[in-house]
Amino acid sequence: MSGERPLDQLYRLQDRLRFVESRQKERETVPAALTEVDRAYRDRVEAVANLKQRLARDEAERRKGELEAAEIREKQKKYQTQLRSVQTSREYGAVLNEIDGVDKQLRATEDRLLELEEEIESARGDLEKREASLPRETDEHEEKLKDWRTAQRAIDQELESAREEIRRLEDQVPARDRAEFLRLMEKKGGLAIVKVSNNSCSACHVKIRPAALQTLKAGREIVYCDSCKRILYWDQQSS
């Protein structure tokens, strides 16, 4: 641990809080290279699902079309029978008209069925190919993500020990100082306590009065920068 002076603890506390914040961000940001990989893989999985859906839709439509065609053929037969028993040429013409209508219906339905047949066949071929390569693609994808998962676990460990230290420091820093420090952290963009360098505030670079410097070096009470109002920290190691 870095000394027993409260300001050392505050400075370390800020350092750990900032560390946790940046590592947390890093942990949650999927590397750009993997975003691409991940999207490409998910596209492939989705393509298989879409194909299956299309196939099911086409097959349902084909079953419906086959039923329709059967009904139309029944009608056809019915009219053919009628045609043999008509009495007048007017009746004859009317039945012929009906037959003409159902013939057209049947042709349209059969054309659609042929189209569906082709669609189903090509979708099945496509699906088969895609499904065959998916297990290998899944393995490759997992492999690519493995390093990232390992990196995340390492970050988790760092975060855990940093948070432990933060808890310990928060217990050690007097409650009033801690409250003031946290208020400043929020107000000053996460930088509440800053080092003195060349007898100046390292955040705003304004010179520190000699009297304030003396108090600072003693390290027992909190001294603020006259200009940016941050807590000043005299680092014994580097001064």
- Chain residues binding Zn ion by CB under 5 A are 201, 203-204, 225, 227-228
Shortest distance, CB of residue 192 to Zn ion, whole angstroms?
11
Looking at 86-209, list the stretches that DSSP marks H as alpha helix, in order from N- to C-terminal side: 89-172, 175-187
Shortest distance, CB of residue 205 to Zn ion, whole angstroms?
7
Measured between alpha carbons, how far is residue 142 from residues 29, 35, 60, 64 in Å? Answer: 18, 13, 36, 42
Shortest distance, CB of residue 193 to Zn ion, whole angstroms?
11
| Token pair for 122 | 């090509």
Is the Cβ of residue 163 or residue 229 nearer to Zn ion in the bound state?
Answer: 229
* Apex 105 CA angle, 104 and 111, nearest 5: 90
- Is-contact 200 212, C-beta < 8 A? no
**How far is Cα 208 from Cα 225, in angstroms, rounded to an integer?**
7
Is the Cβ of residue 155 or residue 228 nearer to Zn ion in the bound state?
Answer: 228
Is the Cβ of residue 185 or residue 225 nearer to Zn ion in the bound state?
Answer: 225
Measured between alpha carbons, how far is residue 91 from residues 79, 159, 172 in Å? Answer: 11, 91, 107
- How many other CB atoms are found less than 10 A from the CB of residue 212? 17
Shortest distance, CB of residue 212 to Zn ion, whole angstroms?
11
Is the Cβ of residue 17 or residue 223 nearer to Zn ion in the bound state?
Answer: 223
Shortest distance, CB of residue 230 to Zn ion, whole angstroms?
5
- Amino acid letter for position 78: K
Is the Cβ of residue 48 or residue 213 nearer to Zn ion in the bound state?
Answer: 213
